Structure 1
């Protein structure tokens, strides 16, 4: 595809804006030493700008390459762009104030910010699912390529919805609110005890359940399947390729569900629990087997006639 096909697309420029914001935030990590919950205040907007940037640039490739003739394509892009910009602007604003953007209900302003963010990401999720449906119904896409795109986008949608586990207020928080005490509503942590210092940069707990891990995993498995789709476009389509992609999609989705289950049980995904570790190991082994089977499939061939 030509660059001109992308430079007129709102979601493409959203991805570029996220990349520029990422570059702008990097010096602040060293110039601004303020911390929030033991982490530099600019880490969170940096993580979100990177995540949204990858999502935007991946999704725009899918839209331009496979849904260019869809009459609602531009409206979808505008909706995704606006909602993601609302999210990142509020996260960055709260970081500049030294305040939490998520779960923070300490003041009326913080409650409004949290509510607006929840609404915008819910709208974002609905439009994302619309793309999934449209790809699923697009019969002109080669079957194995369509299979890969549908699985990647669907698991990403599942990864997004995992976020609602975190936004639900806990029983003790509800009791405090009844007493007029407004501090936090929801949390990414599940389980009790010390959460530890957290994984470098990401901040994910390695001791107790942290829902950000399956949330991130689900959202960005999408990039793997989009790469599969790009690879399969240059391969001979076959029922075997479809089945391999389908099995890989099922394995990734089940792996994501197991992550959620482990987290809800109050245990970190990084904890070497023999049962969960064995399950992840089996899933990864089967995924690698499918991957190697996929790349070993016969390539497209062209018959040349010499006169």
Structure 2
């Protein structure tokens, strides 16, 4: 059974609380989009409600995917359901604090300017650590999931593992920057600890909606790309299944599995590439020749591997 068929057959067995959470966050995302238009305040050069909007969209995708993944488990479904409920509770606390800070016009992350700001950031950091542990436990359970279709089998596993790695990359943003260390050494205040922009202070020019820096490296990019492998790879398997009726070779689940594995390797390479680019203080929209060359090699490797996967019998 392919992921496409499985999505249709399991709609009524999805984990209900996480499906409801995904729907609620979708509504919240719409409200945040309206708030961006109605509330013209900015923080560090970005609309004050942009971050709550992005977190709502990301959370909706995250919980919708886990709602489906939990339905796949032949065993430990109750345990997985409880872990997913725990994830919802953790994310809710973190999101409420994020919205609270946005409403106050205060930074939610890296902010130690006041005791209240520091406490909120510490609580959010604890919630993220708990979310990582719960996601790790769910990923382990997914590794024991038996999915008849080989492409679906590898898409689920590789997506969960890469997503866990993407969440882990968020830790790169928590270390003090060189400028902050110099400020502290000179006796300046420790109002901010960490940041997402490499080479510059947070708050410079950024891409519309996403806000990713257009003048320096941005560690939010590998964090985002990695975290959403959980959606990207199953979507690849779904696309291959949808194309199978039109292309004879794709009707073979071994061929589709090979393509998913190649896609997973390519996705892992993309995560590594954007991480390397960000750490070199290079904007995603201004790659140098070295980055472009590495990207070209990655695309060529994925392309050749895909060609071979389809041709080899």
Q: TM-score, normalised by structure 1?
A: 0.86
Residue 76 to residue 288, structure 1, CA distance change in 2 (3 Å)? farther
Deviation by residue 1:158-187 (Cα, 9 ceiling, x = unmatched): 111111000112355356557472210100
Q: How do 1:126-137 and structure 2 match up within 5 A?
A: 126-137=133-144
Q: How do 1:160-199 and structure 2 match up within 5 A?
A: 160-174=167-181, 176=183, 179=187, 181-192=189-200, 196-199=204-207
CA contact (8 A) 2:76 2:141 kept: no
Residue 195 to residue 115, structure 1, CA distance change in 2 (3 Å)? closer
Query: Residue 302 of structure 1 aligns with which residue?
Result: none
Query: Residue 247 of structure 2 aligns with which residue?
Result: none
Q: CA deviation at 1:30?
A: 1.8
Q: TM-score, normalised by structure 2?
A: 0.84
Query: Residue 305 of structure 1 aligns with which residue?
Result: none
Residue 40 to residue 231, structure 1, CA distance change in 2 (3 Å)? closer
Q: CA deviation at 1:238?
A: 4.0
1:225 matched to 2:240: no
Q: Higher relative CO (CA 8 A, sep ≥ 6), structure 1 or 2?
A: 2
Between the aligned partners of 1:176 and 1:152, the Cα distance in structure 2 is: 40
User: 2:77 is paired with a residue of what secondary structure?
Assistant: coil
1:18 matched to 2:33: no
User: 1:88 is paired with a residue of what secondary structure?
Assistant: helix
Residue 128 to residue 141, structure 1, CA distance change in 2 (3 Å)? farther
Residue 180 to residue 205, structure 1, CA distance change in 2 (3 Å)? closer
Residue 114 to residue 12, structure 1, CA distance change in 2 (3 Å)? same
Unaligned runs of 5+ in 2: 1-8, 245-250
Between the aligned partners of 2:48 and 2:207, the Cα distance in structure 1 is: 16
User: 1:72 is paired with a residue of what secondary structure?
Assistant: helix
Between the aligned partners of 1:193 and 1:80, the Cα distance in structure 2 is: 32
Aligned alpha-carbon RMSD (Å): 2.8
Between the aligned partners of 2:141 and 2:147, the Cα distance in structure 1 is: 12
Q: Select 1:208's aligned residue among 201, 209, 216.
A: 216
Q: Select 1:147's aligned residue among 154, 174, 177.
A: 154
**Greater share of helix residues, 1 or 2?**
2
